[in-house]
Amino acid sequence: MRLSTRLHGYLDYVMGLLLIAAPWALGFADGGAETWVFVGAGAGSLLYSLFTDYELGLVRRIQMPVHLWLDGVVGILLAVSPWLFAFDEVVRIPHVAAGVAEIAVALITNTIPGYERRRGARPGTG
């Protein structure tokens, strides 16, 4: 089963906002890396989502495969950030969980937006 790019777009905006709010909602907003990794990942995800060539993109300059690679990189960064930035003894589960979720969603999403597939673009690549 592949996730549609439209649904992926909704998830992008929801996840971006959740990442920004999570440090305060989950009680680890101490102003250190544990906070700003989430805020930066959320803000970055919102920004590149606005520029993605899919149903919910506003500017549509970033192709979907590039967007999915960015999601994967953000996911990896989130997942390893507790050890990379040495806050693993403070908090780690939200970062690892969010990172794994980012990677999983990127792996199962179609690479061609629905409006392109309906026009018959590149059969067999979506």
pLDDT band at 123 (very low <50, low <70, confident <90, very high): very low
What is the reported pTM?
0.90
Residue 120 has pLDDT above 50, yes or no: yes
CB atoms within 10 A of CB 59: 9
Task: For the chain, give every domain's residue range.
Answer: 11-111
Residue 15 has pLDDT above 50, yes or no: yes
- The CA–CA distances, whole Å, from 105 to 25, 36, 66, 100, 108 equal 23, 22, 14, 9, 5
